[in-house]
């Protein structure tokens, strides 16, 4: 009989998130830039002047490595973030 989606293995796998997931290169590069900034402020642009990908920003927020800091009234679509303690640990480990 084939394994069903209700087997204990499948239930556990779908509910468990990796706890020691490391940031990707893009995520790590962005998060590391907050280590030396006052309050852990994360940049809106990379070293070449390109805007940080919204996908990178949102994935770091979802993983708890960054959190929105304040709204930018001039550019409401920009997400101004700061590094969290969890994010600091992720890039220093």
β-strand partners of 1: none
Q: Give Cβ neighbours of residue 15 (< 8 Å, ≥ 6 apart).
A: none
3-state helix, strand, coil in the chain (%, to 5): 40, 15, 45
Cα–Cα distance between 38 and 16 in angstroms, integer?
A: 35
Q: What is the pTM of this model?
A: 0.75
- The topology (CATH level 3) of 24-92 is Arc Repressor Mutant, subunit A (1.10.10)
β-strand partners of 80: 70
Q: What does the buried/exposed string (b/e) look like for 17-49 if buried means 16 or more CB atoms within 10 Å of the residue's CB?
A: eeeeeebeeebbebbbbbeeeeebebeeeeeee
pLDDT in tens, 29-80: 999 999 999 999 999 999 999 999 999 999 999 999 999 998 888 888 889 9
């Amino acid at each position: 009989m084939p394994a069903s989606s209700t087997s204990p293995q499948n239930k556990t796998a779908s509910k468990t998130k990796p706890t020691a997931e490391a940031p990707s290169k893009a995520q790590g590069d962005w998060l590391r830039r907050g280590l030396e900034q006052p309050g852990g402020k994360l940049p809106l642009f990379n070293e070449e002047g390109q805007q940080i990908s919204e996908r990178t920003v949102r994935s770091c927020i979802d993983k708890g490595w960054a959190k929105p800091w304040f709204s930018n009234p001039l550019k409401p679509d920009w997400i101004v973030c700061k590094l969290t303690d969890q994010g600091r640990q992720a890039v220093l480990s």
